[in-house]
Amino acid sequence: MTPRPVKISAVGTHVPERIVTNDELSLTLDTSDEWISTRSGIRERRIAADGEAASDLGAIAAARALEAASVRPKDLDLIIVASLSPDMLFPPTASFISGRIGADGTPAFDLSAACTGFIYALATGSSFIASGQAEKVLVVGAEVVSKMIDWTDRGTAVLFGDGAGAVVLEVAESSDEGILGFDLGNDPSGAGLLKLPAGGSREPATIETVESRRHSIRMNGGEVFKFATRIIVSSCREVLVQQGCRIEDVDLFVPHQANIRIIDTAARKLGIAPEKVFSNLERYGNTSCASIPLCLDEAAAAGKIGQGELVLMVGFGAGLSWGSCLVRTGGLKRIEE
Ligand code: UT7
């Protein structure tokens, strides 16, 4: 059977109300606005309220994407939620989101691939449509990373933020439009570089794991930085070659938003013009699985995702994992605020 073309028809997002600036973090951490903004490009981030979980943000983003696509929740064939900060280890956050949007009966599962999760979820959802097993798929990236942070660790606390983004995948009208291809990968030798050690079956929760803050993100920032700048370049080249495209053909580059220095270095090595690089890291920090859909939404609002344009997205993160995706867009619907 010939695979069916798949398009990303609509996007929706939601971020928590509370804005935390670098100056506010400097009140409790040995850091400064100057260090954070020059080393990472981040100026502020959104932080969820007490009791606010990934599904609370994800359900709002999902409802907005569905409304923009004019797709009823009951018409969905599949819901995939990518998150490294799920509501619970189980049931899946996808189940909570499904309940909130009124998609009872629809298959719903979580996908764990750290910050690369959104790209992996796109690949999974689009395969269901391409193979004829689904007509309409909802892909959500929902994160409340702030609840997984050791707020005394300045090496990680300043980098992350909370937010959610969702897209609707549907059958594309023609094979010239839609998702053209993916490059996905994982390097298990780097699994120890970025992790949340305790709370799973390897290190179940004990008083000691709590007291030693092993329920928070641990990262070797320097090594992850080197990996990111290398893998963005090789993965993007791979997907471009696979589709017979050149870097000059790309109209918009949407990388995972971890550090502006990673983005700038990778863009320079790839030879992509700075005006084609999208970034909103300054206002949100690293929102993990939500970062790419948050960018897609703002890029669409700014009129940067027009008919026929070539969009290159790339994610990377713990695993160490990576994924890039090349899309020929037919536009991207969103609800005007
Ligand atoms: O989603 C994917 C996962 N994450 C990433 O992609 C993150 C990748 N890594 C990075 O973005 C960067 O490595 C960081 C932003 C984490 C760190 O930047 P860096 O330029 O690599 O700094 P560094 O780790 O080499 O630290 C330089 C100095 C150190 O002090 P000493 O040893 O030179 O005295 C750190 O202790 O900066 C210090 N430092 C800070 N100072 C003020 C580390 N964090 C902070 C901070 N404020 N928040």
Which pLDDT score is estimated for 105?
Answer: 97
317: left (phi over 0), alpha (psi -120 to 50) or beta: left
Question: Shortest CA distance to 217 belongs to which of 140, 154, 262?
Answer: 154
Distances (CA, A) of 188 to 262, 285, 321: 21, 26, 8
Residue 226 pLDDT greater than 80, yes or no: yes
Rounded Cα–Cα distance for residues 323 and 37 (Å)? 27
Question: Shortest CA distance to 145 belongs to which of 28, 302, 289, 303?
Answer: 289
User: How far does the centroid of ligand 1 lie from the alpha carbon of residue 230, in Å?
Assistant: 18
- How many domains does the structure of the chain reveal? 2
Which residue, 132, 153, 171, sits at the end of a domain?
171
Across 1-10, 110-119, 173-182, which has the greatest mean pLDDT? 110-119
* Cα dihedral 48→88→57→157 (10° resolution): 30
pLDDT digits (tens, 9 = 90+) for 261-290: 999 999 999 999 999 999 999 999 999 999
Domain hosting 129: range is 6-171
Sequence-ordered alpha helix ranges (H) in 133-270:
154-157, 207-211, 221-242, 260-270
Name the active-site residue from 14, 22, 256, 325.
Answer: 256
Query: Which atom of ligand 1 is nearest the CA belonging to 262?
Result: 11
Instruction: Indicate the pLDDT class of residue 311, thresholds 50, 70 and 90.
Output: very high
Q: Known catalytic residue: 256?
A: yes
pTM of the predicted model as reported, rounded to 2 decimal places: 0.97
Rounded Cα–Cα distance for residues 100 and 89 (Å)? 19
C-beta of 40 in contact with ligand 1 (< 6 A)? yes
User: How far does the centroid of ligand 1 lie from the alpha carbon of residue 247, in Å?
Assistant: 30
Shared domain check, 189 and 112: no
Shared domain check, 306 and 241: yes
Shared domain check, 187 and 308: yes
Which pLDDT score is estimated for 174?
Answer: 85
Instruction: Indicate the pLDDT class of residue 329, thresholds 50, 70 and 90.
Output: very high
Q: Rounded mean pLDDT of the chain?
A: 97
pLDDT digits (tens, 9 = 90+) for 249-269: 999 999 999 999 999 999 999
Shared domain check, 167 and 215: no
Which residue, 171, 191, 218, sits at the end of a domain?
171
Residue 337 pLDDT greater than 80, yes or no: no
Shared domain check, 167 and 189: no
Rounded Cα–Cα distance for residues 219 and 288 (Å)? 14
Pocket test for ligand 1, best of 30, 36, 39, 259 (most atoms within 8 A of CB): 39
Query: Which atom of ligand 1 is nearest the CA belonging to 286?
Result: 1
Query: Which atom of ligand 1 is nearest the CA belonging to 155?
Result: 44
Query: Which atom of ligand 1 is nearest the CA belonging to 288?
Result: 1
Characterize the bridge pairing of strands 218-219 and 108-111.
Answer: unpaired
Query: Which atom of ligand 1 is nearest the CA belonging to 40?
Result: 15
Residue with CA nearest ligand 1 atom 23: 222
C-beta of 286 in contact with ligand 1 (< 6 A)? yes
Helix (H) or strand (E) holding 99: helix 93-101
Which residue, 171, 199, 215, sits at the end of a domain?
171
Residue with CA nearest ligand 1 atom 10: 221
Is the Cα dihedral 240, 241, 246, 249 positive or negative? negative
Which pLDDT score is estimated for 231?
Answer: 98
Shared domain check, 60 and 114: yes
User: Residue 277: which residues within 8 A CB-CB, separation 6 or more?
Assistant: 253, 255, 263, 264, 267
Instruction: Indicate the pLDDT class of residue 178, thresholds 50, 70 and 90.
Output: very high
Q: How far is CA 19 from the centre of its chain?
A: 20
Pocket test for ligand 1, best of 85, 158, 225 (most atoms within 8 A of CB): 225
Which pLDDT score is estimated for 23?
Answer: 98
pLDDT digits (tens, 9 = 90+) for 182-222: 999 999 999 999 999 999 999 999 999 999 999 999 999 99
Q: Known catalytic residue: 286?
A: yes
Rounded Cα–Cα distance for residues 168 and 69 (Å)? 7
Residue with CA nearest ligand 1 atom 6: 258
Residue in the structure block whose two tokens are 């629809």: 106
Which pLDDT score is estimated for 22?
Answer: 98
Which pLDDT score is estimated for 213?
Answer: 96
Shared domain check, 122 and 143: yes
Shared domain check, 290 and 247: yes
Shared domain check, 152 and 193: no
pLDDT digits (tens, 9 = 90+) for 100-153: 999 999 999 999 999 999 999 999 999 999 999 999 999 999 999 999 999 999
User: How far does the centroid of ligand 1 lie from the alpha carbon of residue 158, in Å?
Assistant: 10
Shared domain check, 312 and 166: no
Which pLDDT score is estimated for 333?
Answer: 97
Distances (CA, A) of 316 to 187, 322, 335: 11, 4, 28
Which pLDDT score is estimated for 228?
Answer: 98
1 is a domain residue: no
Query: Is residue 165 a contact partner of residue 205, using CB atoms and an 8 Å limit?
Result: no
Exposure of 326 in the CB half-sphere (CA atoms within 13 A): 22
Residue with CA nearest ligand 1 atom 8: 225
More confident residue, 337 or 37: 37
C-beta of 114 in contact with ligand 1 (< 6 A)? no
User: How far does the centroid of ligand 1 lie from the alpha carbon of residue 150, in Å?
Assistant: 15
User: How far does the centroid of ligand 1 lie from the alpha carbon of residue 234, in Å?
Assistant: 24
Distances (CA, A) of 249 to 96, 197, 228, 269, 306: 40, 42, 23, 16, 14
Shared domain check, 187 and 147: no
Q: Known catalytic residue: 186?
A: no
Residue 1 pLDDT greater than 80, yes or no: no
Tell me the CATH number at 291: 3.40.47.10
User: How far does the centroid of ligand 1 lie from the alpha carbon of residue 159, in Å?
Assistant: 9
Q: What average pLDDT does the segment 16-41 reach?
A: 98
336 is a domain residue: no
